[in-house]
Amino acid sequence: MKELNVYLDNAATTKAMTEVITKMCIVLDEHYGNPSSLHYMGIEAEKEVTEARSILARLLKVEKKEIFFTSGGTESNNLAILGVARAYIRSGKHIIISCYEHPSVGRTAKQLEEEGFEVTTIPVHSDGTVNLEVLEGAIRPDTILVSIMHVNNEIGVISPLDKIGQIIKAKNPNTIFHVDAVQSFGKIWLQPKKWQVDCLSISGHKIHASKGVGVLYISQKVKIKPLMYGGAHQMGIRSGTENTAGIAGLGVAADYMYSNLTTNSQKLLELKAQLRDGIMNNIERTFVNGIEGNDSAHHILNMRFEGVKGEVLLHALESKGIFISTGSACSSNKPEPSATLLSLGYTEAEVNNSVRFSFSMYNTVEEINYCIKQLMEIVPVLRKFVRK
């Protein structure tokens, strides 16, 4: 019988916080007007959007008119990459991404290749950090866009955006720098202007807001072609009636996450260390994938259990009420091994033996102890069935 339900797949999505649900219900029940309408109900709805926009702008230290609401991280990444590429096509057709970007970046770049753009993919070192020397050498006069994720969604490595911004602008000041910050917003302080980031993507459901809402920060100096045409909402960059309830909830979640950042970060850091040490001290032939320490996000832990298939372990833990992932939620339901782990030089067997644990402020010491206890029982049993 299950003793607990332990959700350790928070890099995939998070539980909406009570404050967000309350806010969204108020908006849906009372402030349900169209924010573009001129009457009282529309004005009340518009106030909700404006308040959320003010919160996001304050937290990112940018102008309110630089905040654009989207349907989530995937749309933000698509809007940034396709929008910039199509707006600057006369300046060049060369784009740079890293080799382990989220599919909403990698596949969007692939689409641009089919449209005649040239895409250079930057490798990473064995610890998961982006190879900055190769990046610097790849930037050309016709490079119009560089897109690098801040925190990798599978291994948690943190890219040094300040250094990357310096490299890009030193080689070509006209190159637009886009950052997928879906896994870092709400967990790390972000300074897009200081780091010379021109566009930055955020997702609501990664920080205890609802699914279906995200943000794209676009610097005032950046031109961008819209993906959708319609009522010219949000200065024509993103047409469509705003998801007022989702946006208002995102504002609440963002404000809460940054108001409690220090406390939550320390808690998640301790939970991560507790699980890592509990596994490595009690189960032989277990390893951490990727980098550790200050360059690793406190909410993601990718581990390898030699001789145990990650998918089998996932389902064995699921039977005990523990929910983890074998990698990115956008690719973990597919049989292919993780491209991220392969890019770090792990063998296909090592990749298949890997799983991702990801934490939130709702996880507890008791839950982590329960997870360790179940792993200590499950892993030796699963290893008995491995073919020699």
Catalytic residues: 330
Give the residue from 179, 214, 209 showing the smallest Cα distance to 71.
214
Integer-rounded Cα radius of gyration of the chain:
21
Sequence-distant (6+) residues with CB within 8 A of 107 are none
Distance from C-alpha of 43 to C-alpha of 31, rounded to nearest angstrom:
9
Residues 6+ apart with CB under 8 A from 361: 208, 260, 264, 267, 268
Pair 344, 289: CB distance under 8 Å:
yes
Taking alpha carbons only, the member of 261, 240, 259, 256 closest to residue 49 is 240
102: left (phi over 0), alpha (psi -120 to 50) or beta: beta
Q: Bridge-partner residues for 185, per DSSP?
A: 188
Residue type, 127: D
DSSP strand pairing (176-180 vs 143-149) = parallel
Cα–Cα distances (Å) from 106 to 78, 110, 149, 202, in that order, read 10, 6, 11, 17
Q: How does strand 118-122 pair with strand 94-98? A: parallel
The residue whose two tokens read 């917003």 is: 185
Nearest to 303 by CA among 240, 382, 246, 358: 358
Residue among 108, 76, 106 nearest 343 (CA): 106
Sign of the alpha-carbon torsion through 133, 134, 139, 145: negative
Give the count of beta carbons closer than 10 Å to the beta carbon of residue 263. Answer: 10
